[in-house]
Structure 1
Amino acid sequence: MSQLYSFLPMLLQGLVTTIQITVVAAVIATVVATVCGVIRYSGWWPLRAIVGIYIEIFRGTSCYVQLFWAFFVLPLLGVTLSPFAAAVVVIGLNVGSYGSEVVRGALKAVPRGQWEACVALNYSTWHKYRYVIVPQAMRLAIAPMANLMVDLLKITPLVSLVTISDLTYEAMVVRQQTGNSFATFLTILVVYFVLSSAIIAVFRRLEIHFSRGAETFATNKEAAAT
């Protein structure tokens, strides 16, 4: 285990890179999932068709191949992305394609009466989604989105395919130089477990927050009815 101490800066740098990729890709995935989920549920049909094609392509092909396309094929078509940009865009779009179905399902689960109430109150589309529909849908979508974000973290080792030295790549270098497979892989196993646990903890806090909001809304509604 002491052999790893001299390589600790390498592993820490790889950890920082992994966290950066995870955070940026998670932001992209969340935005894409939200926008595409809303369009899939209630958008104009040509937009729904375009979004549907994107979702089927990214869900139906390997993220491994998608990374190769973004980094090696797009430059042949005149679009050049840096390794980091290719990694976060592909991972974000890949996870976002799954997340869009989570959002669509959450929107579909919002009681029909809530939609009808927005129409009765003459809410604009923006106000309808911002103040009524999205807060309720988010409460339903948080748990499955947490699973997707953990999955996102788990696929970040693929970025080494496009020359990025993430945590797993640096660990492989350390293993080759020290020959200590057990300690090296145990270390990154623990690190990935801690990162996954941190993601789950954040989403649990969000779930509690939105659940409290829903309970407050229900209490006020009952009080008004009596």
Structure 2
Amino acid sequence: MIQEIVVASGKGGTGKTFISSNLSYFFFKNGFNILSIDADVEAPDLLLALGGVKEKVFHEDFYGSVVDIDYNKCIRCGLCADVCRFNAISIENGLPKIDYNSCEGFGTCMLVCPVKAIFSRRVKRGDIFIAISNEGIPIVTGDLDVGERNSGLLVYRLRDIARKYALERGLNIMVIDAAPGIGCPVISSIVGVKLLVIIIEPSPQSLKGAE
């Protein structure tokens, strides 16, 4: 059984990665079979905190989805804009326009389109690596491409890859350095986890985020 430990904080700058890296180092030096995950995919630095890269042993391109519109079919009903929870579709001069920076590719717009004018396509969003640090600790880390979204989905994929790697090698402890805040990547980091360590500092913002 793999024990997952998530280190999180309601805001940045509380020392979350400092605690994650030291916790990982403590387990490793005391003979535990450990794997670390850097789930702060917008600004990953756990690998640096653990001594840098000695060897990369795995790489995978991470893909997300966006939607496009076939304007030859579109009847300008506006239903797609009404149902998009991310406000990625707006109506301009009677036509729906997609903001690709906001589109998460969930596809609700495709389901409600009465003429099937909306379709999905895959786009590369980032990269996933497994690296061995100079200290000898295996680390699974992801890195979103500049300006890309889908960080929550990337963290889900990181955890899937990490579990498979850990099971294949008999590793039974995973320390997850979550992203700061309370957004989608943090939720993806803590789902199903039994042990959550919340790092706070004596400030109203930090205490509110922890709550």
Name the TM-score class by shorter chain. under 0.3
Give the TM-score normalised by structure 2. Answer: 0.26
Give the TM-score normalised by structure 1. Answer: 0.25
Highest CA radius of gyration, 1 or 2?
1
More helix, by proportion = 1
More strand, by proportion = 2
Higher RCO structure, 1 or 2 (CA under 8 Å, sep 6+): 2
